[in-house]
Amino acid sequence: YNQLGWYQLRVNVDFHKHWGWHVDYNQRYEQIGKDLFQKLFRTGIIYKYNEVLQFHTGYVWVENQSYGDFPMDTQGFRFNEHRIYQSAYFQHKTGHLEVRHRVVAEQRWLERKLTNGQDKAEQYNFANRARYQLRFQYSFRKSLLVRKYPFIAAYDEVLVSFGKSIKNKNFDQNRIGFLAGYRFSKSSQIEL
């Protein structure tokens, strides 16, 4: 059990009816805001097939530091991760309830710093990861035409790693979230 604070700024820019660009930056802290353990930068291209289905592909850079009671085997060093990803988003709405599905495939290169006396060597291990997220969002608005409204959301995301470098542990993480938010316009909202 770890108390983590995840802070993210996310921007999507549409430059065509079907095409867009995505960028987000994350800082993640242990003990809500005390010890920075991860920085994450993600960018990619968005293809919107229609209002219900869209696809993303792109690149992610992550800088990690071990944290928690069961840290990754990094000997206390910061380490980088590079990944490319492909994802599909599907959503459907029923009245005030919106249901979103996200499926992601990630190809990851995880840096490992090896120590041999005083010398430090770097090595990258390759791994695949599959992710699935189911998210429910309920809006509190009097009419579906209203553009500004509060909402609540809940999600569950399961992450499974696989490949030659993954030994004895395929299950990676299960992320569960409960959110409260406010939508200011079609293009901006805040979540806590």
Looking at residues 2-24, what average pLDDT do you find? Answer: 91
Q: Which residue type sits at 143?
A: S
pLDDT tens column, 112-169: 766 665 556 678 889 999 999 999 999 998 887 888 999 999 999 999 988 777 776 7
Mean pLDDT for the chain overall: 88
pLDDT tens column, 59-86: 999 998 877 665 555 455 678 999 999 9
Q: What is the pLDDT of residue 59?
A: 98
Q: What is the pLDDT of residue 132?
A: 98
pTM, 2 dp: 0.84
- CA angle at residue 144 from 140 to 146, to 5 degrees? 75
CB contact set of 150 (below 8 Å; sequence gap of 6+): 139, 140, 180, 181, 182, 183
Between CA 7 and CA 24 the distance in angstroms is: 10
pLDDT tens column, 81-110: 999 999 999 999 998 999 999 999 999 998
Specify the residue for token string 């998210």: 135
Looking at residues 172-187, what average pLDDT do you find? Answer: 91
